[in-house]
Amino acid sequence: MRMEVLQSQRVELMVGIAFALVAVGAGTAYYFYLSNKNKPKGCLDPENFKKFKLVKRTQLSHNVAKFRFDLPTPTSVLGLPIGQHMSCSFIFFSNRGKDSQGEDVIKPYTPTTLDSDVGYFELVIKMYPQGRMSHHFREMREGDYLAVKGPKGRFKYQPGQVRAFGMLAGGTGITPMFQEELANLACSFPNRFNVYYVLNQPPEGWDGGVGFVSKEILQAHCPAPASDIQILRCGPPPMNKAMAAHLEALGYAPQMQFQF
C-alpha cells in the first residue's frame, strides 16, 4: 500500500512539475534504439484513426488521471518511435469529441509507457478547466474508445547523431521525456544520465531547484554548446520562448536545439 501511494505521488509530481532538465549520453539513447529495433510492427496508422479501448482509469489527483488502453493482442506494440507523438480524438462518438462550434477536437499526446511495452499503452492527462480535450477526458469511462493516429513529429532519432542530449521539459511537456522512465534511468546509468527538477511551488522538504529555470541552471546541468550535442525542448509557449533566449545567450546555435 505504501509503495502504491508513493508511486501515485511521484506521477502526480511529475505531471505538475514546473521543469525538468535531463542530460543523457547518446549511448543511453542508443541502448533504447537497439532494444526496440527488432520489435514487431506497430498498431498505429499515420493516415487513419484507429480506436483503442480504455480498460483502466486511475485518478492520480483532482485533475490528473492515468488512462490505460488495450492494444489488439497481448503481444501487440503501439509503434511509436523515440521522440514521436500521436494525434488523439473522440471522433468515434457521435455526441462527443467536438468543441462548442461542432468541430472535431484533435490533440497530440505522448504515452508514458515505452514502445517496448506489449498489449497496452498509457496516457497521463492533466485536465485543465478550459482545455479543449480536457472535458472529453473528464467524461471518459472504462469501456470507451479513443481515436488515435500516428506516429507524428519532426524529430527522427538516429543512433550516433550526437554525443549527448540535453532535454528541457515543462508542465505536461514532460510526458515525451517521462516516456523513458527518468528515475529508473538515472539509477541504472548514473554516469550517463542525470535529472534535475525545478518546481515553482515546491512541497515541504523539497531538495531540488526552486523557482524558474535560469541561464545558470542550464549552464550547470546541460551539456555545453558543441557541434555534437543537441538540446530538446518541450513545454508551454512561454517556457519555450524563455529557454530559447537563455540557450542563445549561452552560445547554443539553432542547429543545436530542437523544439517539440
pLDDT tens for 77-112 read 999 988 889 999 998 775 665 666 667 889 999 898
pLDDT confidence bin for 126, thresholds 50/70/90 = confident
- pLDDT value at 37 more than 60: no
**H runs (alpha helix) in the chain:** 2-15, 26-37, 134-139, 175-178, 182-188, 215-221, 237-249
* Answer CATH for 7-34+155-259 from 2.70.98, 3.40.50, 1.20.120, 3.30.1490: 3.40.50
Mean pLDDT of the chain: 81
Give bridge partners of residue 196 from the DSSP assignment.
21
What is the number of helices (H) and of strands (E) in the chain? 7, 12
Q: What is the pLDDT of residue 176?
A: 57
Res 33 pLDDT > 70: no
Q: What is the mean pLDDT of residues 123-139?
A: 88
Burial of 135 (0-12, 13-18, 19+ CB in 10 A): middle
**Confidence (pTM):** 0.69
Domains of the chain, residue spans: 7-34+155-259, 40-152
Looking at per-residue confidence, does 230 or 180 come out higher? 230
Cell numbers 542547429 correspond to 255
Q: Does 141 score more than 70 pLDDT?
A: yes
CATH 2.40.100.10 fits 40-152, yes or no: no
